[in-house]
Structure 1
Amino acid sequence: MKKYNTIIGLASPALAAAALIAYSITRVWAWWNTLLLVVGLLGLAWFIVDYYKSREKQISGRSVKQGANFAFQALIVVLLTAMLAFISTRRHFRLDLTKGQLYSLSSQTVNVLKGLDRDVTLKLFVKKGEESGISDLLDEYSYRSPRLSYEVIDPDEQVDVARRYGVTQYGMLFVEAGDRRESVTKISESNLTNAIIKVSSDRQKSVYFLTGHGERSVEDKGPEGYATAAGALKKENYTVRNFNLVRSRRVPDSATVVVIASPKSDFAPGEADSLKAYVQRGGRLLILLDPESPDSPRELAASFKADVGRDMVVDASGFGQLFGAGPGMPLVQSYDKQHPITKDFSVMTFFPLASSVTPAAEKDGWTVTELLKTSAQSWADTDFSGGKVSFDAGRDREGPISLAVISSKKTGDHTSVAAVFGDSDFAGNGYFNQQGNGDLFLNTVNYLADEGELISIRPKKLEDSRLTMTPGDVTTLFYLVVIAIPLIMIALGVGFYLKRNRD
């Protein structure tokens, strides 16, 4: 019997170790890994109990018994700790306690990962031992979706694989889904999520910007241009194009969303009818106007039951001044919490020189939702041509003032949708990256394009959260950590030692 117990004592740790080593190599936990681990742990427990009982008969000294008992308890603690550590790698819960949830994925990324309907593989090419920072991010991605996995490859050890992927530098990452592949050279949550969207999306969606009336240009990199907005759309896997209705006579069939960004002149005959026909057959339209916008774009918005006021919204709350903005740049913090565009929105937005946009009294079957409003300390000023504004109780409208609405109408088997904003500056290069302006523009386009998984706030930026300490604080911390705490521990140890000797 003693011989068999010795065999069990030697074989049991080997079986448990084999299960764990096999998993660490293959990263696949099969049924036989569980079997080996359970048998190994049970055998080891049997051996320890049997050994302790047999030794108890032979050992009568008190100190030896205490030592054996302590060793047994320590071994049990070590084994339990090892088991909990292993289980935590398989079933764990992540908690980010940093301000702003800096180490958590954004809701946009989580939604994309939850919506994956195909397997996605990430291949990271980096020197062995230098992947720790990046692998933490990849772990977070794989934790969120069982359809996503990643592999770390050392290009110096697997030269053929690196050559096949066209690796030109360390740190390159490739995202694959089926026969589609995207490379990421600057690894960040935003870039990685966009690459996942590209390889997992079935078709390319296009955003067409109307031209020919002095609209804001997607090629213009100046403060009033839309180059930044166009670049952000491309990162979201959209194709951005210009089109001229006078030439084409019809909105292209490939247009997912059409954007009209602050036209300076009226439409030519037939253009408005072409845009209405596009929306009526299920098209999606985004109209961005300003206080100086001409009549025909306003009439087009009115056909979708959105009345763009001939006014300028003034914000007298003073909040905008905290960010260098005057009363002509309303600050918005009030959003519709039911609509998908703004339901999770909690970031401030700015609208330089904006007009009011309100639902029409007669909606004729259209559902019109006010997306955002200014503060109660604002008003819509109808006499702003002189450059000076003041509230006129007889003519001006008191706040809160609606600055954007979205209209939808179900017709047959399709839904027509048009979003109308009373400002175009908020999405220009000069303001796109201010607070939540860019997010609001992208959320609106994503909703119009039926990209529901993209409706959320973009990945967060690192904020300055340094700890500022005075010389007195540093001295206090030094005495506490370097002197006081060690002295307390030494005093406690000496006290316990003397008390034990007296006993």
Structure 2
Amino acid sequence: MRTASPWWASLIFGIGLLFILLGERLFGHLPGIRMGLTTIGVILLVAITGLRAFTMMRSAGGRRAVERTFFVCQVGVLASLVVYALTTRWGVNLFGITEKGAGKWTMVLTVLWSIGMLGSLVPMFMIETSLGIPLRTAFDLRTGGDEGVEYYRVREIGWSGITIALATAFLMTTCGVAKERNVQRDVSYYKTSSPGESTKRIAAAQNEPIKVLLFFPTSNEVKEQIRNYFDALQSASGRLEIEEHDRFVDAELAGKYKVTKDGVIVLVKGTGDKEKSQTIEVDTDIEKARKSKLRNFDREVNSQLLKLVREKRKAYVMTGHGEMTDPDSIPPDLKGRVPERRTTVFKKRLGDLNYEVKDLGLIDLAKDVPEDATIVLMLAPTVPLQPAEWAALSRYLDKGGRLLIAMDPKADPNLGELEGKLGVKYNPAPLTDDQAYLPQRNTVADRRFVITTQFSAHASTTALSRSVDKGLIVVDSGAIEDAPFSGKGEQPKKTMTIRSMDSSWLDSNDNFSFDSATEKRQKWNIGAAFEGPKLKGEGGKDKDGYRVLMFSDSDLFADVLVSSMGRAAVVMISGPLLDDAVKWLGGEEVFAGEVVSEDDKPIKHSKSQDAVWFTLTIVGAPLLVLTLGLVGTWARRRRSIKKTAEVKL
């Protein structure tokens, strides 16, 4: 189709736009290059638009109408660029827009120039595509005749382009509005954790009130969540004084406790020189706070309260014998047989319980257990301890020491002289169960992932016994058995705190199957607590003797990667067991109890539960559908017979 202007005029116009795009987007951080490219682009756009005006004025009839259409489109592009310029820093400063209002100003003008640009470029591109290149390689300013000019087709294509552009603009605007007006509803298991039993006990045991200072903005959703938590804790304990403060209004108080931002909670105990304080920081944005602190807020408060109400204690973890806590010390010839495990969560929980974790190696232990040790922890040594080390541990217990022992079938099973002192021994035969176990790989090896709900009413299993429906998983465990007592003095009080289900057995031949001739199903001991006889303290008063906790599975305290609801986390499969165990060993059983967490819990089914679900889905559901179908068919036939009988009558 013949036109007054050549096709390459639109190409140059597009090149001008490309220069502006490169200058503003790609080289926006380089003022010199940006200005050069943008200037060249603007010059090209203005020149081609002027050329369109010239060809429009010098032509007539259909040619003039076509040129006018191109001219209007190009003027629309220039006008859109002017609006775009007002969204830049230059435009904002030109109209004196404040920083607060700059966001809305930019958003509105961006929508306007985007719609204008689309409404101009799309019709122009579609018209150029329909006109083609032939007969349009040079200027044709003839004023007579409209041969080869189809203006009506050009007009219809132009309107179609505008329709497409406006539809696209509407879609963009709709997406923008949807983003701004987005409403989310979280249907996961979420709420701010409530005060747990342990936290309530810590607060209630204090002789003087604990002040809770909340430094939050006046109106804040996170503050309301935090306030509700402490109100509930105050009602349960009666030992809290809750105050709300603005860090700017109460600048002196904020400075005293080094509060430099909103979202800070200060716990204060005592006055004057005896005053102690601990700080908890929470994000003031509810979406961020719920993902970081609110779900486990009770655990955070519990940890800070323990730091507030007593001094830090020391927990000595034995090393140098290939323990789970010291995998580097495993002998090379045993590395293939003994799995390497990590205890990062274990050590972190000890820190949360206000214990300083220190290593206790072979050289130090052979001499004696340090005097400042509150508890000593031994997790599955693969190398046998020396007699001098067992003797040191025995002397430590005689002085009222506290010891946690976790054994493992793949580690050294000996207890040295503690076997006769405590009256127990360790059987390393793997505990197996073909009924109460956790399916993992759907092989017989899964039977070593034994589930139990058998907990005694002991202070070291307080939280476990109150959540018996959840159960406890032991992996590749052995068993604790009675042994003759050969120690000096009175025999310790022995309590079996955790037992397996009565369907389990010790797989002595390691074939994962129950052999009735040589093996026995019964409740095997997994955890045991020992309390030594009373000792004479200062002033002739009695004080508690030694305390020992022994477990037949060291994996209870190992790191485990758990995936739930698309999220992965490293946890201990023993849940609250360590907390209550350490509190009992440290003589703080009054603080034992559940610490509430609202994290999404992974769904775990035992083998029997999986069998029930399998039956319901494979058999139950089809039977239900078949029954409904038969009932429906029978009802329809009955109505049909009834109608036939009525017609005959």
The TM-score range, normalised by the shorter chain, is: 0.5 to 0.7
2:478 maps to 1:377: no
Residue of structure 1 in register with 2:68 after alignment: none
Q: 1:199 aligns with which of 292, 308, 313?
A: 308
1:408 maps to a residue whose letter is E
TM alignment of 1:434-453, pairs within 5 A: 437-453=574-590
Q: Distance in 1 between matches of 2:193 and 2:350?
A: 25
How far apart are residue 338 of structure 1 and its match?
4.7
Q: Is 1:424 matched up with 2:533?
A: no
Residues 170 and 339 (structure 1 numbering): CA distance in 2 closer, same or farther, change over 3 Å?
closer
| 8 Å contact from structure 1 (residues 118, 200) kept in 2 | no
1:123: which partner in 2? 213
Bigger shift: 210-219 or 329-338?
A: 210-219
* Contact 1:316/1:378, CA 8 A, preserved across alignment: yes
Are the equivalent residues in 2 in contact too, given 1:305–1:407 (CA < 8 A)?
Answer: no
Aligned to 2:234: 142
Is the 2:375–2:401 Cα contact (8 Å) retained in structure 1?
Answer: yes
Cα drift, residue 124 of structure 1 = 1.1
Give the C-alpha shift of residue 234 in structure 1. 0.9
Q: How does 1:345-364 map to 2 (within 5 A)?
A: 345-346=467-468, 347-360=470-483, 362=485
Q: Within 1, Cα distance between the matches of 2:411 and 2:485?
A: 23
CA distance in 1, matches of 2:459, 2:226: 36
Query: 1:309-348, aligned counterparts within 5 Å?
Result: 309-321=427-439, 326-342=446-462, 343-346=465-468, 347-348=470-471
Residues 505 and 524, structure 2, Cα contact 8 Å, conserved in 1: yes
| Contact residue 436 and residue 450 of structure 2 kept, 8 A | no
In the alignment, which residue of structure 1 is the partner of 2:277?
181
CA change 1:102–1:160 in 2 (3 A) is: closer
CA distance in 2, matches of 1:307, 1:100: 45
Q: Among 382, 406, 429, which residue is 2:529 paired with?
A: 406
Q: Distance in 1 between matches of 2:386 and 2:406?
A: 18
Give me the TM-score of the superposition, normalised by structure 2. 0.52
> Which residue in 2 is equivalent to 1:300?
418
Distance 1:100 1:299, change over 3 A: farther
1:366 — aligned with what? 492
Task: State the 1:285 CA deviation.
Answer: 0.8
Q: Mark the CA change 1:103 to 1:166 in structure 2 (over 3 Å): closer, same or farther.
A: closer
Output one character per residue of 1:46-86: Cα deviation in whole Å (capped at 9) or x when no partner: xxxxxxxxxxxxxxxxxxxxxxxxxxxxxxxxxxxxxxxxx
1:339 offset after TM fit, Å?
A: 4.9
Please, which moves more after superposition, 400-409 or 274-283? 400-409
Distance change in 2, residues 1:345/1:366 (3 Å): farther
Contact 2:413 2:428 in 1 (8 A): no
The alignment of Structure 1 onto Structure 2 pairs a total of residues equal to 362
Mapped to 2, the partners of 1:195 and 1:358 lie a distance apart of 39
The two structures have a TM-score, normalised by structure 1, of 0.66
Describe the SS at the equivalent of 2:315.
strand
Question: Matched residues in 2 for 1:453 and 1:224: separation?
Answer: 32
How far apart, in 2, do the equivalents of 1:193 and 1:328 lie? 34
Distance (Å, rounded) in 2 between the aligned partners of 1:273 and 1:369: 24
Structure with the higher fraction of residues in helix conformation: 2
C-alpha change, 1:423 and 1:299, in structure 2 (3 Å) is: farther
State whether structure 2 residue 595 is matched by structure 1 residue 458. Answer: yes
Q: Which runs of 5+ in 1 are unaligned?
A: 1-98, 466-503
Alpha carbons 1:233, 1:239 under 8 Å: kept: yes
CA distance in 2, matches of 1:327, 1:262: 22
User: Percentage identity across aligned positions?
Assistant: 19
Paired AA for residue 390 in structure 2: A
Q: Deviation digits for residues 191-246 of structure 1, max 9, x if unmatched?
A: 12221221122x322211011101122799x9711111110111111111111242
Query: What is the letter of the counterpart of residue 321 of structure 1?
Result: P
Moved more, 299-308 or 229-238: 299-308
Letter in 2 for 1:116: Q
TM-aligned CA distance change 1:411 to 1:137, over 3 Å: closer
C-alpha distance 447-333 of structure 1, shift in aligned 2 (>3 A): same
Encode CA deviations 1:141-197: one digit per residue, 9 max, x unaligned.
222233311211111322333233222321011111121111111352221222122
Separation (CA, whole Å) in 2 of partners of 1:464 and 1:391: 32
Paired residues of 1:312 and 1:353 also in contact (CA < 8 A): yes
Q: Which residue of 2 is the match for residue 109 of structure 1?
A: 199
Q: Bigger shift: 166-175 or 362-371?
A: 362-371
Contact in 2 for aligned 1:368/1:406 (Cα 8 Å): yes
Sort the Cα spacing of 1:368 and 1:205 in 2 relative to 1 into closer, same or farther, 3 A: same
Which structure 2 segments of 5+ residues have no match?
A: 1-188, 283-292, 329-338, 537-543, 563-569, 603-649
Which position in structure 2 is the counterpart of 1:273? 391
Opposite residue 255 of structure 2, the aligned amino acid is R
Larger Cα-atom Rg? 2
